[in-house]
A = this chain, B = another copy of it.
Amino acid sequence: MSQTLPEFDFDGFLPYRMTVVAARLSAELAQHYKSTYGITTAQWRVILNVGYSGAVSVRDIEKKFNLEKSKISRAAAKLEAEGYITKEIDRADRRLVKLQLTPKGAQLLSELVPLAKAYQRKLEAELKGNLQGLQSALDILTQKEPPQG
């Protein structure tokens, strides 16, 4: 029984907690658009980036969203095939691919965003006074650390 393991506060362990909550939020949000609009989570993330983040290349999205570039590339290919975005070679640096919403993509996004905003409002209402603390904590954890710590 007692395996003489070191003491460890499993329930307060942040990588564990963050993973569980992040998966829950993404899944709960996905419920709202997956069946209705027939897009995957990866596609949703890419189209959201293209529309809002100022990210225009695969590389930008990779950095910003921490997504594998191959995953982005394939999601973008599907979105292009379905007419939601265009892919165009950047004239200043022809290694880059400029991603842009088509009118159809903008239309889709303009329908999806209210869902996202409503979900965000719901979360903020649940969090009440803890919202600011959460955002501050996420700010800190988002900062890249310097190589030497």
B123 with A130: CB separation less than 8 A: no
- Tell me the minimal C-beta distance from A110 to chain B in angstroms: 6
Copies in the complex: 2
How many residues on A have C-beta within 8 angstroms of the other chain's C-beta atoms?
58
Within 8 A of B (CB), among A57-114: 65-66, 101, 103, 106, 109-110, 113-114
Contacts of A138 in B (CB 8 A): 17-18, 21
Closest partner residue, chain B, to A133 (CB atom): B133
List residues of A (99-140) whose CB comes within 8 Å of B's CBs: 101, 103, 106, 109-110, 113-114, 116-117, 119-120, 123, 126-127, 130-138, 140
Q: Would you call B127 and A8 a contact (CB within 8 A)? A: no
10 pairs of residues in contact across A and B, judged by CB atoms under 8 Å:
A5-B109, A6-B113, A18-B26, A20-B66, A22-B23, A24-B141, A25-B141, A123-B141, A126-B141, A130-B136
9 other A-B residue contacts (CB within 8 Å) besides A130-B133, A130-B136: A5-B110, A10-B53, A18-B21, A20-B142, A21-B22, A21-B138, A126-B140, A133-B133, A133-B134
